[in-house]
């Protein structure tokens, strides 16, 4: 299992008329965590794209337990529980002061620039093999 954690602070512009974080803002925070996970694996997303690999989102899901509000300090943790092949599923938890606010997932596919399914790049496969061996 691989994990990465990022932190962010809810900006006023990220809240809605009800005074809570607008639901659409959670997906960019998921992306922040996902990019951090790839960095941690030694394969930054920009490097993947430069090598001709893309990782589009195929599916998302979110479950809201409690709202976040302006100025809350959030901790977003992404987990890759299974070694991916051509597709991968990441799960996310958003917490504030140790309290679970949101859980979610994203499902992705490795594709080339023509959006044809491909295996992950060799260096990422090697990093994943090593990470899942320990």
- Domain positions in the chain are 2-133
* Total length of the chain: 134
Q: CA geometry: angle at 94 spanning 92 and 98, to 5°? A: 125
User: Quick one: 2-133 is in which CATH superfamily?
Assistant: Hotdog Thioesterase (3.10.129.10)
How far is the C-alpha of 39 from the C-alpha of 33, rounded, in Å?
10
| pLDDT at 77 (0 to 100) | 99
The candidate with the shortest Cα–Cα distance to 75, out of 57, 99, 91, 58, is 99
pLDDT tens, per residue, the chain with 134 residues: 899 999 999 999 999 999 999 999 999 999 999 999 999 999 999 999 999 999 999 999 999 999 999 999 999 999 997 777 778 999 999 999 999 999 999 999 999 999 999 998 898 888 888 888 86
The candidate with the shortest Cα–Cα distance to 49, out of 63, 41, 38, 61, is 38
| pLDDT at 130 (0 to 100) | 83
Percentages (nearest 5) of helix, strand, coil residues in the chain: 30, 40, 30
């Amino acid at each position: 299992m691989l994990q990465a954690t990022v932190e962010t602070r809810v900006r006023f512009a990220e809240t809605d008329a009800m005074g809570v974080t607008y639901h659409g803002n959670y997906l960019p925070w998921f992306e922040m965590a996902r990019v951090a996970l790839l960095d941690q694996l030694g394969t930054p997303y920009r490097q993947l794209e430069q090598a001709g690999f893309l990782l589009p989102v195929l599916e998302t899901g979110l479950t809201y337990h409690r709202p976040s509000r302006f100025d809350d300090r959030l901790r977003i943790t992404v987990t890759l529980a299974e070694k991916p092949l051509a597709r991968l599923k990441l799960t996310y938890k958003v917490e504030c002061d140790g309290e679970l606010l949101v859980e979610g997932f994203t499902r992705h596919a490795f594709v080339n620039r023509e959006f044809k399914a491909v295996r992950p790049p060799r260096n990422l496969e090697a990093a994943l093999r090593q990470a899942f061996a320990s």
